Amino acid sequence: MSDDDAVRVGVDIGGTFTDLVTVHDGAVRVTKTPSTPDAPERGVVNGLERSRDGEDDGDGDDEGGGGFHLADVSFLGHGTTVATNAVLEGTWADTALVTTEGFRDVLEIGRQARPDIYDFDAEKPTPIVPRDRRFEVPERLDERGEVRRELDEERVRALADRIAEEEIDSVAVSLLFAFENDDHERRVRALLRDAGLNVAYSLSSDVLPEIREYERTLTTALNAALKPVMEGYLGALESRVRDRGVGADLGVIQSNGGLITAAAARERPVNTLLSGPAAGVQGATYVANRRGVSDVITMDMGGTSCDVSLVGDGEPLVSTDVEVGDYTVGVPMIDVHTVGSGGGSIAWVDEGGALRVGPRSAGADPGPVSYGRGGTEPTTTDAHLLLGRLDPDRFLSEALDGAAADVRAAFDDRLGDALGMGPREAAQGVLDVANANMRRALRVVSVERGYDPREFALVAFGGAGPLHGPRLAADLDIPTVIVPRTAGVLSALGLLVSDVAYDDGVSRVRRWDEVSPATLRRAFAALRERGENRLEADGIAPVDRRYDRTAALRYAGQSFGVPVSVPDGEINEERLDALVGRFHAEHERRYGHADRSEPVELVTLRLRARGVVDTPDLPTPTTEGTVDDAIREVRSVVYDGDPRETRVYEREGLPADATFDGPAVVEGAESTVVVHPGQTAAVDRDGNIVVDTGGGR
């Protein structure tokens, strides 16, 4: 098969639609199919078959025409929400925990902080493993990994029968200070297996070999609880795509934005908790970098939620302290903040008479009222339609049949009477509340982390992101909004431009005056060897391998470390001094102060092993004609309660380098852009719409 015949496919499963982006024969094709929450793999296969057949479903950006043979698929990347949903819904596997004697209740105790500092009745999250399935074994290591008490192997063997009686599916092993010495954890697993306990195992020394007992034990337990769930899903998906003739190995994107094999995802499902949102950030970073923009805030608004993140110097910000549902997970993740504000978010009036939007969503079925599938509760999408921003005859796929009269009735009956407003006034209120929710989210990832949003561009994507992005950017004085050409399916595109990546780390808590260059060299050498082995197993050529090193430092006595990069090259005393200098500078940028006279501690060393992939050569649009040729109609659209006559453009008809002023609406195949009065817009060489909000410095 020649390179021209090869087909690359990215698949992202959302709450409402399953999106596919296919690159084949120099063309990009977009396919959207309704998600199938009861069996997500079915939606993936449905999308593959529609894309293969070259169907024009009204949702695509089909620039190459016909379909392809599934046997020609050379790459199949996947963003999944299976692990995320299992955590949010508590539908993980029955799991047992084996831990050091005296530490059985680490999961119960958690952190000192309460969920709500002013709520004395607030309850902590339900432990991943209930107390009657948490087992202790006598053993003890000190803080440097030296054995103070040998492992009681007879007690471990006796545990096998007790755990088997619980009919559990998975075992987590998290022993004290195993990040310094993993011998006891590996021996526990071997003894349990030898005793006939044939279940899935997760060791903290593999999953998260780092300090902080709660986070390490929680992350390991969560990985164990998700293993059977991910095994079942990926097994079903691989079986279905194989049955359709797809021969390519399945790749899964992790929360850190890097791809791994399906086999690796089965072993580390906890690394996929933000799989879908991470793919979107990767896609947004790719689009911005092609424009020469390295500092952006990403905003992915889909059917059920809005995910926001920050990219600095062309790289997404990665954190090891991200909350997923009620749980703080310690593995590296792109720092994504999520709010329950999507196109399908339901508007309602609370007991105090206040208008609320979300977090409950109409989802894929029945969906918003405008989908014509029996929905009766007004949503954000319905508000846009009522205010003239969406055309009920054009914004949906052929499988859906919108009815403006039904939308008006829903706003009148469900909101208007309770609020004392007419339908359009209520619709404007819904958008105002939704925008307020998203403004707060954008501030969380920018202002609250020490970044000035005026120095960034906003990349707005997802099916609903371009409807809100220009307004939100203006409110925050963000000068520029970039709406990617494939905005509605950017997460799927992100899968096609992401590198293979494995993150590994180890805690070595030492006063800095005890740290020698040899200490760091040995630790990084061990991390690099593991990374090389993983990339080798994935078939990554040595020339395409990259290794990025970081070290987390802190002032002595602090609880949390600040990560700083460790440049390539031999580590010597001079580089150690430079590393401490970067720590002081980063601490001052992040927290507003630094004390260079305070003693510093090393906390954790981390290494990312990357396999650089060839990004597809995406074709540029070749639309001819003028801006006026792209005008489809002029209609009344409401902005902040004020109706204005507005030009409505066909996105596919806009030529490169086109410019136009707001108010304007640009209707695309899978997203609609609203350019507000006083703003201007232009089309760049890649077909992105770039909106100048007039804000910023």
What is the structure's pLDDT at 591? 87
CA distance 30 to 300: 17
pTM greater than 0.85? yes
Phi and psi, residue 616, nearest 5°: -65, 145
Asked whether residue 626 is assigned to any structural domain, the reply reads no
How many domains, in total, are found in the chain?
Answer: 6
What is the structure's pLDDT at 202? 97
CA distance 174 to 438: 38
CA distance 46 to 692: 39
- Do 556 and 418 lie in one domain? The reply is no
CA distance 175 to 154: 17
Burial of 153 (0-12, 13-18, 19+ CB in 10 A): middle
Encode 127-139 in three state secondary structure: CCCCHHHEEEECC
Asked whether residue 622 is assigned to any structural domain, the reply reads no
CA distance 452 to 40: 39
- Do 449 and 539 lie in one domain? The reply is no
At residue 590, what is the residue type?
R
Asked whether residue 621 is assigned to any structural domain, the reply reads no
What is the structure's pLDDT at 1? 40
**Could you say which of 383, 415, 432 is where a domain stops?**
432
CATH number at residue 109: 3.40.1360
Asked whether residue 1 is assigned to any structural domain, the reply reads no
- Answer whether 413's CB lies under 8 Å from 305's CB: no
Asked whether residue 484 is assigned to any structural domain, the reply reads yes
- Do 61 and 196 lie in one domain? The reply is no
**Could you say which of 576, 611, 646 is where a domain stops?**
611
What is the structure's pLDDT at 60? 40
At residue 649, what is the residue type?
Y
Asked whether residue 618 is assigned to any structural domain, the reply reads no
Question: What are the start-end ranges of the E strands in 520-641?
Answer: 545-555, 562-566, 600-611, 631-639
CA distance 317 to 96: 34
- Do 114 and 179 lie in one domain? The reply is yes
CATH number at residue 24: 3.30.420.40
- Answer whether 345's CB lies under 8 Å from 361's CB: yes
- Answer whether 675's CB lies under 8 Å from 637's CB: no
- Do 81 and 221 lie in one domain? The reply is no
Asked whether residue 509 is assigned to any structural domain, the reply reads yes
CATH number at residue 545: 3.30.1490
What is the structure's pLDDT at 54? 64
**Could you say which of 226, 261, 285 is where a domain stops?**
226
- Do 240 and 364 lie in one domain? The reply is no
Q: Using alpha carbons, select from 561, 506, 552, 498 the residue that is nearest to residue 529.
A: 506
Q: Which domain holds residue 390?
A: 345-432
Give residues with Cβ within 8 angstroms of 282, minimum separation 6: 253, 257, 316, 494, 495, 497, 498
What is the structure's pLDDT at 28? 80
- Do 221 and 105 lie in one domain? The reply is yes
Q: Which residue positions in the chain have pLDDT lower than 50? A: 1-2, 56-65, 397-400
- Answer whether 279's CB lies under 8 Å from 92's CB: no
CA distance 650 to 6: 31
Sign of CA pseudo-dihedral 366, 371, 375, 379:
positive
Helix H or strand E encompassing 374: none
- Do 146 and 202 lie in one domain? The reply is yes
- Do 101 and 192 lie in one domain? The reply is yes
- Do 457 and 483 lie in one domain? The reply is yes
- Do 306 and 442 lie in one domain? The reply is yes
What is the structure's pLDDT at 304? 82
- Do 518 and 470 lie in one domain? The reply is no
What is the structure's pLDDT at 184? 98
Asked whether residue 478 is assigned to any structural domain, the reply reads yes
